Amino acid sequence: MTRQKENRFSKLASTLGILTSNIGTVVVFLILGHFLLGGFSDVKQWLTGETHYDPRVELPVYDGFKDKYQYGKEFSKAQSLREFRPHYLWRSLPVSGKFVNVDENGLRRTVKPIKSKSGQPPKKIYMLGGSTMWGEGSPDVDTIPSQLQAILGDEYDVYNLGEIGYMSTQEYNYLLERLTLGERPDIVIFYDGANDGYTSVYSPGEPRGIHHIEELLDIRVKSPSMTESLLDAFKKSNYQKVLKRFLNPPETKIWDQKIEPKIETNIVLTLDYYDELIRQVHALEPVYGFDTYFFWQPILFSGTRSIDNFPHEQAIINEASPVWIKSQKQLFHSAKQRFSGREDEHVYFLGHTLDNVNKPIYIDWCHVGPQGNQVIAEAIAQRILSD
């Protein structure tokens, strides 16, 4: 090798070394920045295995709840433990704690009363829904099923079949599986509105779709490009969290402009499809021997609740996308028109149930704390006991 070639090789190697060193330095600082922006919480979790607590336990809804941080930690852990299931796509994995317990079948614990000695078998109630039914925001004893169990007493045996993120179509498929396995409830309750409303009307705006299924199962129609991979990494980083705190992310504005013209069409389809669900489940009743009740739930974005005394609920509204709020408010009023006055079909619109509750209720746009669940359970019990 000539001296001239050796010099060229040496310069190339030196340049590559400097470039590699600089890239490595940038990567190290990006990783360090991610952890620093997370307040070292990610490092602490990685080193100790400690679970974060849900920050919503800081809201006034939990004033007086001495163990709220323990509950917040248990919930954060439980919501991340899910496994794939065919037909309805996922169920929660078993978890055991002081406030959050899920059995080997993926069912959240319903607190049962002491059994009577009457010898009469209790009526079995299956309660289906998304995270609001599962009990996001409440310990086991304060979920809607546990509250309903406490009201109805030992003449009924209530089971919480709710699941985080479920759409009504998943609930229906899960019920079919339980029936296929030979189970025979006396009463089946569907509690819906929020998940169907968000997913079908606003994001991704696919009526009868599944709640962000592509993201949850990491399904892609094609291999991601380098740019898409970097964007995904950014979305999962603390840089994105900081951006969301201080800015309305451009992608939200772009999405709002895209989805807003489709809101009215999506609302009609969403309610049409839910009416078909009602028809399909009612058709199962004579075959399997149960009665069904359908309840459309309240949401904070309806604009019908007086929140003058609850600034944290106003803050939830202020921080949300205006188009998101618009989509859910319009759905709320359309659902009221569609489902009111249909008691003979066991269809009930509960959208106004929390409007006049003069206590802090909501922890986000659709989830409520224990006191909210109690009011909902009382409304459901009233309908069941009136038959």
Q: Are residues 330 and 206 in the same domain?
A: yes
Task: Write down the pLDDT at residue 225.
Answer: 63
For residue 107, the SS3 value is: coil
Q: Are residues 140 and 23 in the same domain?
A: no
pLDDT level of residue 368 (50, 70, 90 thresholds): very high
Please, how many CA atoms are within 13 Å of residue 191, restricted to the half-sphere of its CB?
A: 31
- Helices 263-288 and 168-180 meet at what angle, rounded to 10? 20
In a domain, 176, yes or no: yes
Its domain, for residue 73, covers: 51-385
Name residue, tokens 């079919």. Answer: 176
In a domain, 238, yes or no: yes
In a domain, 43, yes or no: no
H or E segment to which residue 233 belongs: helix 226-235
Burial of 86 (0-12, 13-18, 19+ CB in 10 A): exposed
CA distance 163 to 214: 18
* Interval 283-302: pLDDT, tens: 999 999 999 999 999 999 99
* Interval 123-174: pLDDT, tens: 999 999 999 999 999 999 999 999 999 999 999 999 999 999 999 999 999 9
Burial of 173 (0-12, 13-18, 19+ CB in 10 A): middle
Count of domains forming the chain = 2
Q: Are residues 182 and 292 in the same domain?
A: yes
Distances (CA, A) of 221 to 71, 87, 157, 205, 235: 39, 20, 44, 18, 19
CATH for 237: 3.40.50.1110
- Determine if residue 187 is left, alpha or beta; phi over 0 gives left, psi from -120 to 50 gives alpha, anything else beta: beta
* Of 50-64, 96-110, 216-230, the least confident: 216-230
pTM: 0.82
In a domain, 25, yes or no: yes
Query: 176 is written with which tokens?
Result: 């079919």
Q: Are residues 158 and 26 in the same domain?
A: no
Range of 6-15, 150-159, 203-212 with top mean pLDDT: 150-159
In a domain, 139, yes or no: yes
In a domain, 46, yes or no: no
Q: Are residues 59 and 138 in the same domain?
A: yes
Q: Are residues 142 and 170 in the same domain?
A: yes
Rounded to 5 degrees, φ, ψ at 13 are -60, -40
Q: Are residues 249 and 314 in the same domain?
A: yes
